[in-house]
Amino acid sequence: MRTLMTLGLVCFGISPAFADDLCRRDEKKVLFAIDQICGDTWCEGDSNFQFRKIRCNFKLGSCALEFRTAPWKNSDDEEYDWSKPKTCVLRNVESLDSLIDTNRQVPVLLDGPYEQITTCIDHLNSR
């Protein structure tokens, strides 16, 4: 087991192959930041997005963001018809500070990851 220091707090986690240099608390912060920007960008279209997990390997400088999409529901009684999970790989990510602005009370997604996610989602939607 190894210790990861983040924002002065200690996160504990095991770091297998591609998996997890983010502890669960930091993963939630990143997913929250992505979800917050979603409503003004990718999620304005015909689909609802559900960002499920992000796994990072800072030594490799990359993260895998998993999400699903579904057409918007017509009513509250209707269930979402979620797609199979899709993955966007983010490059040049060497720490939590490469993903979000950690100096803010509420996490904010940085421009680099935002642009990479936008490019990936546009590519996946054009298929």
Residue pLDDT, tens place only, 53-110: 999 999 999 999 999 999 888 888 888 889 999 999 999 999 999 999 989 989 999 9
| Choice between 4 and 126, residue whose per-residue pLDDT is larger | 126
**Confidence band, pLDDT 50/70/90 cuts, at residue 51:** very high
- Gap between the Cα atoms of 70 and 31, Å rounded: 18
pLDDT band at residue 19 using 50, 70 and 90 as cut-offs: low
Task: Determine the pLDDT at residue 6.
Answer: 33
